[in-house]
């Protein structure tokens, strides 16, 4: 069975890949397990060398890669560079440079005096085989944000790209193999939801899923049957709070880009904008003026700002939410045009005002170039409105007073809060990305990202192997009395009590009998 790939801006078929037979997945998993043994035995510098070669190849073919991503995903070429290629190259640079230090052996200091004969340490070790299931909206950067640290940590990877961007997924595999990463160690599994479900249930040591909350919940249910650990990066409804002292020029430009880049098909895009009543009218007027200059079209056109919607299903979700909002009293201040022709789907950048909080567009993830704007009157109201969501991936606060902005940020329930910027934090590999509530459970990027790829294993060595431990058999009154007094010595807060207990311990030790 083949998977056809189409350009969402033209409807043109641009290629096809073979779907992986579900019956082959267990074999692929077994082959990956065997390959992982050799890979895990390599030093970090050897793994890093191969991944740097992959990065070199990616950089040398950046224009070819950018054009493929744009043609298959629909986003403008400029956005491929800013949101896919540059972050991906930084991911490779960061993890090949810092993984060894982050995952190095950690000495454990043992605090209980009775245990001081022991030497202990924690070693971070690979899970084995991890399955990485990635979405279509960032088909290069999102998977590499997990693939690179997974490989650096010593894992094998089974990678399933979205069925809507299979060519980019296949390209990642080809470039990896060209760089010298073994094919059986890094396998590309192609297919739709049934293949993804089979991959989750196959029994890999960990599953990483990025996508919608509904599918993430299903992934968790399937993985739970084998008690497979899962890391989830799911949907969101990110809030932008604009305080009355914010720079209106920067805030409107930020709101526009934050809501419309990648045609709004971004997990950390602005999907709810809360503007203080004192600047609401001026904010809206300037935003409308700026939106008029945006160009909607094919991503391969260098003048395009907003590309196509990926497929009909997503187009219909966006249209349904806008219709629901207007039916409940919202007004379209700008945009509102939905264009469907020859298998292509475009939506003009749209701003909604007077949006009821109970409308779908204020509660469900939209994933389209739609910006609902709501007035607020106080900090408390803004925080309450922003937190009134089952999601919590990211948020932003806009103000001239950064101290005040951070105070509000601390009150927002989100995995990340940015003051006077948005979205671009996702491209900083040194940072950390992840959500709360129904936006997910795992973390990517930074130290936390690679720790998701490794198991902390505890090792302990007894340096007095012939010594019988005081807590071993046999138990008697002397043993009980000893540990009652020892508890005072170890944990009493008064110095006098600890000194007194110490004097009582010595004779008890001599009377304790161990077998």
Which residue numbers are catalytic?
233, 267
373 touches 275 (CB < 8 A): yes
Residue 375's SS3 state is strand
Measure the CA–CA gap between 177 and 392, rounded to whole angstroms. Answer: 37
Q: Are strands 129-133 and 350-353 parallel, antiparallel or unpaired?
A: unpaired
129 preceded by a cis bond (ω within 30 of 0): no
Task: Write out the two tokens for 499.
Answer: 């000194």
Task: Write out the two tokens for 288.
Answer: 């409308």
Distance set, CA 341 to CA 23, 33, 45, 238, 279 (Å): 38, 47, 51, 31, 39
SS (H, E, C) 312-334: HHHHHHHHHHHHHHHHCCCEEEE
Measure the CA–CA gap between 345 and 341, rounded to whole angstroms. Answer: 7
443-456 CB burial, b ≥16 within 10 A, e <16: bbbbeebbbbbbbe
270 touches 284 (CB < 8 A): no
- Only one residue has tokens 């700026």, namely 290
């Amino acid at each position: 069975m083949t998977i056809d790939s189409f350009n969402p801006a033209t409807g043109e078929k641009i290629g096809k890949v073979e779907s992986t037979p579900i019956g082959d997945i267990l074999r692929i998993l077994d082959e990956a397990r065997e390959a992982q043994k050799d890979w895990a035995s390599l030093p970090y510098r050897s793994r890093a060398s191969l991944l740097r070669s992959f990065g070199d190849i990616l950089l040398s073919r950046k224009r070819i890669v950018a054009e493929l991503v744009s043609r298959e995903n629909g986003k403008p070429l400029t956005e491929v560079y800013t949101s896919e290629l540059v972050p991906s190259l930084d991911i490779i640079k960061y993890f090949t440079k810092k993984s060894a230090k982050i995952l190095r052996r950690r000495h454990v200091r043992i605090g209980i005096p009775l245990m001081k004969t022991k030497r202990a340490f924690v070693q971070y070790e690979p899970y084995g085989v991890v399955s990485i299931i990635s979405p279509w909206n960032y088909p290069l950067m999102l998977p590499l944000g997990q693939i690179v640290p997974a490989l650096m940590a010593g894992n094998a990877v089974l990678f399933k790209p979205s069925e809507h961007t299979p060519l980019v997924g296949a390209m990642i595999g080809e470039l990896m193999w060209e760089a010298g990463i073994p094919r059986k160690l890094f396998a590309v599994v192609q297919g739709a939801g049934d293949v993804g479900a089979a991959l989750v249930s196959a029994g890999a040591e960990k599953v990483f899923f990025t996508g919608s909350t509904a599918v993430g919940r299903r992934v968790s249910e399937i993985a739970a049957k084998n008690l497979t650990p899962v890391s989830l990066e799911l949907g969101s409804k990110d809030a932008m709070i604009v305080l009355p002292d914010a720079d209106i020029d920067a805030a409107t430009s930020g709101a526009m880009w934050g809501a419309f880049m990648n045609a709004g098909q971004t997990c950390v895009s602005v999907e709810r904008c809360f503007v203080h009543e004192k600047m609401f009218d001026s904010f809206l007027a300037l935003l409308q003026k700026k939106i008029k200059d945006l160009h909607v079209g094919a991503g391969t056109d260098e003048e395009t700002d907003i590309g196509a919607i990926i497929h009909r299903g997503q187009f219909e979700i966006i249209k349904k939410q806008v219709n629901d909002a207007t039916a409940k009293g919202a007004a379209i201040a700008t945009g509102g045009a939905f264009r469907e022709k020859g298998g292509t789907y475009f939506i003009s950048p749209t701003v909604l005002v007077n949006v009821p909080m109970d409308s779908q567009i204020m509660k469900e993830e939209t994933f389209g170039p739609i910006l609902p704007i709501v007035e607020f009157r106080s900090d408390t109201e803004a925080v309450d409105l922003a937190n009134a969501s089952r999601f919590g991936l990211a948020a932003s606060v806009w103000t001239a007073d950064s101290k005040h902005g951070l105070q509000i940020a601390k009150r927002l329930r989100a995995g990340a809060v940015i003051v006077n910027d948005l979205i671009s934090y996702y491209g900083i590999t040194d940072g950390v990305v992840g959500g709360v509530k129904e936006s997910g459970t795992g973390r990517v990027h930074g130290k936390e990202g690679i720790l998701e790829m490794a198991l902390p294993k505890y090792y302990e060595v007894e340096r007095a192997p012939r010594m019988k431990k005081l807590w071993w058999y046999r138990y008697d009154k002397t043993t009980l009395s000893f540990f009652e007094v020892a508890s005072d010595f170890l944990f009493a807060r008064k110095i006098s009590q600890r000194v007194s207990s110490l004097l009582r311990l010595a004779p008890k030790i001599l009377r304790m009998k161990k077998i």
